[in-house]
Amino acid sequence: MDQDSHCTAEKELLEAVSRITPFSTTSPSDEEQNQPKAEISCKVRKENPQKDDFQGSNPSLSPNSSMTTKELQEYWRNEKRQCREVKLLFEIPSTRIVEHHLSKYVMYKIIILQTGSFDSNKSVIERRYSDFEKLHRNLLEEFSEEMEDVSFPKKTLTGNFTEEIINERKLAFKDYLRLLYSMKYIRRSKKFIDFLTRPELQEAYGCLRGGQYTKALEILLEVIGLQERLTRRNPVSIVPTLCAIVVCHKDLENPASAFEYGEKALSRLHVHTSHRYYIPLLETMIALAYELGKDFLSLQEKLEEWKAKKDPVRVFTLKELAVREYVQ
C-alpha cells in the first residue's frame, strides 16, 4: 500500500476511533528515524503527546464532536504534514567569483529546501571552498568512522577558477551536503548546523550590537526557518535567535510582533526554567503584555514563583543577553 493510501486508511480509522475515545500522536523514536533518507511520522501511539517533535501541531487536539470546522481542518492539516516524508534538499545553482586586493575565491550559492510538507519556504546561503574544507576537517575529528568513505574535492594548484572546475565542484558539494545530511548523527551535530547558520547569525548579531535592528531582523527571520528545520529534535537551541528577534521588534516599536515571537520562545522553555533566557524573557513579556493591554498576571505569577525558589542573583536583561551572543 503506498503512503497516501495508508494515510487515507488511517484517517478513516481515526475517525472511527474518535467516536469512542480521544487519542494522541507523537513523532517517531530515534530508532524508527534511523533511515538516512527521511524521517517519517505516520502512526498512532499511546505515548505522551508533549514529546512530539512537530512544533506546529497541537497535541491536545483530537477529532471529536466538540471541535469546530476550523479546528478539524487544522487538525487534519497537521496530520497530513506528519504523514509525509520530511527531509532537506541541497541545490547549488550558481556561483560568483569574489576578488579582493590580495585574494580571489569562488562563492557557492546553496539553496536549502524542505520537501514533504506544505512549507514552500527556502533558505539561501553562500559558502566558499575554504568553508567546506573547514567543515570537513571538523567532522573528521568528531566522526572519523562515519566520514571514512566521504570524499572531498581536492584543491588544485591551478585552474580553480575555470568553468569546468567550478561546475565539477558545484556537483561535488551538492552531493557532499546530501550525504552528510543522510547521516543522523552528523546532521544533528553542532558543527554541521553551524556551517549552515553561523555566518548569517554572526552578521545578524553584529548588526544588533550596532543598533541596525532592521537589518538584523531581516537576517534573523531568514535564518530562523532553517534553524527550526535543522534542530527539530532540540527546539530549545533556537531560543536565543527567537529572543534576538523579540529584541529587534521591541526596539523597532513593534510590540505585537515582539510578543508573538516571545510566546514562541517561552513555549520552548516551559520545562527549562533554569535556562539563562527564561527570566529575562519573562520580564520582557510582562512589559510587552502590559503595553499591549494583555493579561500579564499569569506571567507575573511564573516570575514570582521562580524568584521564590531561587536565590537572588544578577539577571541580565534580554537585550544584554542578546548582544553577548556570537561575540568573537
- Domain chopping of the chain, boundaries: 88-188, 199-324
**322: how many CB neighbours lie within 10 A of its CB?**
24
**Residue 43: pLDDT band by 50, 70, 90 thresholds?**
very low
Question: Which triple of cell numbers denotes residue 183?
Answer: 547521516
Cell numbers for 73:
481542518
**Within the chain, how many helices (H) and strands (E) appear?**
12, 3
Find residue 94's DSSP bridge partners.
109
pLDDT band at 134 (very low <50, low <70, confident <90, very high): very high
Task: Report, as an integer, the average pLDDT of 52-58.
Answer: 41
309's enclosing H/E stretch is helix 297-309
Q: Is 312 exposed, middle or buried (0-12, 13-18, 19+ CB in 10 A)?
A: exposed
* CATH for the stretch 88-188: 3.30.1520.10
pLDDT of 10 over the 60 cut:
no
pLDDT at 117: 55
Whether the pLDDT of residue 90 is over 50: the answer is yes
Rounded Cα gap, residues 327 and 321, in angstroms: 11
Strand order in the sheet with 104-115: 87-99, 104-115, 122-128
Share of the chain above pLDDT 90, in %: 60
The answer on pLDDT for 139 being more than 90 is yes
Q: Where residue 262 falls among pLDDT bands split at 50, 70, 90?
A: very high
The pLDDT of residue 156: 80
Q: Which residues contact 149 (CB under 8 A, 6 or more apart)?
A: none
Share of the chain above pLDDT 70, in %: 71
CATH topology of domain 199-324: 1.25.40
More confident position, 48 or 233: 233
Distances from the Cα of 205 to the Cαs of 197, 198, 208, 321, in angstroms?
12, 10, 5, 11
Average pLDDT, the chain: 80
Q: What pTM does this model have?
A: 0.73
Q: pLDDT tens for residues 174-196? A: 999 999 999 999 999 999 999 99
Helix, coil or strand: residue 113: strand
More confident residue, 57 or 233: 233
In angstroms, the CA 132 to CA 164 distance is 19
